[in-house]
Amino acid sequence: MKHKAILKIVVDTGMTVMLLFLMTYELIGEAAHEWLGIGMFVLFVIHHILNRKWIRSVFKGKYTLFRIWQTVLVIGILLTMAGSMYSGAILSKHAISFLSIKAGGAFAREVHMVSAYCGFVLMSLHLGFHWSMMMGMARRIIKELPIAGRWMLRGIAALVAGYGVYAFIRREIGHYMFLQNQYVFFDFEEPLIFFLADYIAVIALFVWVSYYFSKGLKYNTPGKT
């Protein structure tokens, strides 16, 4: 595997882990949350530098349904990242508090909530968009996997995604995405591992949905099978 490909995997893995821990917010403390947010932004910039070839081709070539879906996800993530950085700078009490931006705190809090939870879902969908590449790498490592084994893994993935539906509802993620709840509830007596497990399941849900949705778009694109 080429060094650039390895670096891309490291950066994307780092972003996924940071995204997961960013959702814990007060469970890990405000200061840690802010520094993780800065780290996420740095990796986000590196990710786009590594994928600059794709960015340069945005206005070139024909747009299929598959490519439209990919571009919509990228634009959505870019907007939520911009919203998170803008609102995070205003709300910061630790990492960049020296900026002393006071105006619009209430609005910034709402922007931060919507950006964080919508970004969480969009990044999970984006991960699912590229899951076929990860599956290809796994096949090269495992090489020969019995048909029964493949179906067992698919069944496990479906079960985890199914639990992700329950976790999505239980954690009221949809309510936070659309500001139906103005404040995020955290149970400080709950072990962190349980919180993380639920959010991992939600990521798995949207990866699963995006993977099969993208696969369907590819299948129905002329010239693709």
pLDDT tens for residues 111-122? Answer: 999 999 999 999
What is d(CA 200, CA 97) in angstroms, rounded to the nearest whole number? Answer: 31
Mean per-residue pLDDT over the chain, rounded = 89
pLDDT at 161: 95
Q: Report pLDDT digits (tens) over 157-194.
A: 999 999 999 999 999 999 999 999 988 999 999 999 99
Model confidence at 142: pLDDT above 80: no
Q: Cα–Cα distances in Å, from 127 out to 121, 132, 152, 206?
A: 10, 10, 22, 8
Name the pTM for this structure.
Answer: 0.90
Residue by residue, DSSP assigns 160-193 as HHHHHHHHHHHTTHHHHHTTSSSS----TTS-HH
* Under 8 Å between Cβ of 92 and 43: no
Residue range 92-101: mean pLDDT, rounded: 84
Tell me the angle at which helices 3-22 and 30-50 cross, rounded to the nearest 10 degrees: 150
Residues belonging to the chain: 225
The pLDDT of residue 143: 62
- By C-alpha distance, which of 39, 48, 49, 50 is closest to 16? 39
CB distance 15 to 38 below 8 Å: no
